[in-house]
Chain A
Amino acid sequence: MNKIKFDFTSNLMMINVYLWNIRMAKFENMLITYDTGASNTVISKDILFLLGYNFEGIEKTRIITASGVEYVEPIILEKLKIGNYVLDDVQVYAHTFPEASFSLGVLGLNVIRQFDTSILFSKGEMILSKI
């Protein structure tokens, strides 16, 4: 069981995740949006590029967002860490978020549903247990 703090700012739940840097073989930290309304996890393409992920030859796939249809590259993130839990080979979509957005990604249900989660809004904490 892990107790994770989240930033609850302007009605957005932002949580720390750690993405595997394949070039340097270490985790890097990003603050992304926790979104049970998203079926998949989406990460900024610029960040994934910095971490050594390659998009050459990857065919884009379609996702439906609140503002329309977007085309994104599916890639496999070697490791994704939340708290002290490490998930291997997580599919994420690479997307260029608009500059006006406040997040570098969205943690979607493909990851969220792997944990039993209690959200304590009064404390700004989430308690996670891997299912």
Chain B
Amino acid sequence: MVESIHEINIKFNGEWVFLINCSVDEDGNLIEGEVVLHSKSRDEIFRNMNKYKDSPSMISIRYAGKIPEGVNVLL
């Protein structure tokens, strides 16, 4: 089921998601996709994403939702 990125961010807040059937708007912003993998573990997504490597549609991998309160990031 294709859902908007906004819906995906709410539904899978705090999880990594792997999407197929993605589409973009006229400015190239990702607007929707179909979640086929989701997990709190990024590495679990990495271990399972190979089964979708031949997907003819655009794929996307992302952390959905917000970074937890109290977590700070320095790259």
Residues of A bordering B, CB below 8 Å: 2-5, 9-12, 16, 18, 23-24, 26-31, 33, 35, 37-38, 46-47, 50, 65-67, 81-84, 99, 101-104, 106
* Count of CB-CB pairs between chains A and B under 8 Å: 82
- Per the bound structure, the CA–CA distance linking A66 and B75 in Å amounts to 6
- With CB as the reference atom, state the residue of chain B lying closest to A7: B9
User: Judging by beta carbons under 8 Å apart, are B75 and A106 in contact?
Assistant: yes
Residues of B bordering A, CB below 8 Å: 19, 22, 24, 26-30, 41-43, 46, 49-50, 53-56, 58-63, 66-67, 71-75
- A12 and B73 in contact (CB under 8 A), knowing A26-B58, A46-B46, A99-B41? yes
User: Judging by beta carbons under 8 Å apart, are B22 and A29 in contact?
Assistant: yes
- A28 and B59 in contact (CB under 8 A), knowing A3-B27, A9-B67, A16-B28? yes
- Per the bound structure, the CA–CA distance linking A26 and B55 in Å amounts to 10
User: Judging by beta carbons under 8 Å apart, are A16 and B29 in contact?
Assistant: yes
Partner of B75, one of A4, A27, A65: A65
- Per the bound structure, the CA–CA distance linking A46 and B56 in Å amounts to 20
